[in-house]
Structures are given as C-alpha cells and as structure tokens.
Structure 1
Amino acid sequence: MGNLAFLLLEAAREMLEEVGPAQLSLRAVSKRIGVSSAATYHHYANRADLIGHLAAQGFRELAKVFMQTDVDRTSLQSQRNISVGYFNFARSNPALYQLMFGPEIASGEMIPELRVAREEAFVALKRSIADYLEQDLDSGEVRRASLAGWSFIHGLSSLALNNALRIPEGATDESFVDRTLQGLEHLLSAWKK
C-alpha cells in the first residue's frame, strides 16, 4: 500500500470531519483503510501523535492562506483577503480547525512537527503584515498587529463555528467578514478620538 503514513493521515482527517475527535483512534483509522493496527503504530506512536500530525497539517494549510500573493501584499485588500481566507478555512474544515486550537492540543505535549507548523503559520501572517506596514518582520508593531489580526479573525471564526453568533441568511463569507471589519474600523476610529 503506497505511502501508508499519508493514507492514514488522510483517513484520520476524513474521520475527524465526520465523527469528531472523540471517536478518532488509531484502531478506527487502521480499520478504515484496511491495515493492521501494528502497521499504523509503525507510523504514529499513539493517538496524540496522530492528532498532532493532523493539527500540523492544518497549520501548514493556514500558513498558505497567510502567504497568498494574489494581490499587492502592501495593500489593505491583501489583509482583507487573508481574513476572508482564514474564515473560509475555518468554516470549510470545522473539526480540523477546532482540533488545531482545542484543549487536546494545547494541554498535551506538542510533537516537534506541530510546533514548527504552528510557528510557520504565525511567521507567514507576520510577514504579510510586515509587508503591509512596510516594517521589519521582527518589529514590535508587526508583532502587535499580527496578534491583533489573528485574534480578531480567530475569534470571529470560533464564534461562527460554535453558533455563538448568527451569520445572516444569504451572507457570503466575504460579505460577513467585510461587515465585521467595517465594524472594527468604526470602533477603532471612535477609540482614537
């Protein structure tokens, strides 16, 4: 069977979206693709290792959202597109997204691959914001703006996924994010006065 580690991860991701993390086990993933549990343990030491690799995959995909280059990265439109891409990623991969930021990952020992992928995602966001602000990647302004930007869109995405706020019927991800960004802009301009 081809690249078993990849096939196991692919099956685990499908199962994660179908049944959630609680029912995700090495045995269930092995059964899904028709291999022995022993073969699975050869690639993933335990369940925590498997979900760590899943979360790392999610952070690598999120880094790609942050690295988009479809517009001038020094434009405000680029930052808006990143917010929309992030929101769309979360809504398209709800179980993976919640796993990436959930208590199971945060409370456990993080595998090196996950630690690297998480950091790469944050650096990709910082790079985009550094380009927009025309500042050094390691400047305090870039770090603060990156934390603020990530916090905003992460909070919005989490609220939407957990049905804590209602997305108006007929609203697209783009229009919904645009309206919230306009609200944030209004709030910040009032705060500056």
Structure 2
Amino acid sequence: MSPAPGTTIRIESFKHDHSFHRSWDKTTLIHTSDAVLIGGNDRVKVTESDGREWRTREPAICTFGRGQWFNTIAMIRDDGIYYYCNIGSPFSLKGNLLSYIDYDLDVKVYPDLTYSILDEEEFALHSRQMNYPPQVTERVRQAVQEVIDWVQARRGPFQNGFVERWYERYLLVRVDEG
C-alpha cells in the first residue's frame, strides 16, 4: 500500500554496487496508483555522494512508472518545462523512502521537446568498473529508446498540459518543504 497524496517522501538513488549516489530530501506525493507515482517538490535539499549539498532552484514534478527503467523530473522554469530523465532500475518504495539504482545515462529534454543523451562516458566507465551484466546494459539502452519514443509520441509526462495539471495539484496538497 502506497502512502497517501500529501505524504512527504525521501528519494535516494544508488549505483549498481549499492553505493550512495544522491538524495532528494522532501518530495510531496500527489498521486499513487498501480501504474505510477507522481510527486512534486520545490527548492528541496539535494545531497550528493561526496557530501555536497545544494537546493533545487525551481518547482519540479517527478514521475516514477512502476516497473519502468527511467524516471522523469520536469523542472518548471520561466522559459518552459525542462525534463531530466534518469535511466535507472524500477523504483522501490518502503515506507516513506523511494529508492532506485541510477545507471548513469540521462536524457535531457528541452521545452521544444528536442533532447540530448548525457553521460555516455560515465555509463561506459561504470559498466566496466561495476561489471554491469549484459541484460542490465541492454535494459538501460532500451530505456533510453523508450524515453525518446515517449517524447516523440508526447506520452506520459511529455503530454501537453501534464506537468501543469500535476503542478496545480501539487500546490493544493503540498506541505511546507522549507
């Protein structure tokens, strides 16, 4: 059973070797279903593996599809919506902690829905260092293509109005994230 909308969760990502990668201090759940978990946050503390901390600069809507090998962070900026799509294992939700394994590759999608694939070198390096199994490497490559297909089809979080609708809902259910 998932926590109810309005609940604050913590998001943590790890690397394939189970080492800590990054955490997002507070995200407010907006929607949970058998298919998807949607959350929102604004100016939350992010902690990196080296201990460095920083705050996000804008509101964001995060989408985690159950069983999906990617998640999306839609950042709402003055000049449009930017998406950062993390390629990673399907998420796990235990209590108020959502976690997943980050597999290095990211797809950055711009407001005009053009995109770029980031961190190919990091993926190649970590793949060798941590001995990613061939099925993981293949699944990661499939996930990158799936993100691109979704962008081109305007599916899921890339649909017209999706982020705006969920941001309005977030404003209604959020708790103080200071």
Question: TM-score, normalising length from structure 2?
Answer: 0.28
Structure number with higher strand proportion = 2
Structure number with higher helix proportion = 1
Question: TM-score, normalising length from structure 1?
Answer: 0.26
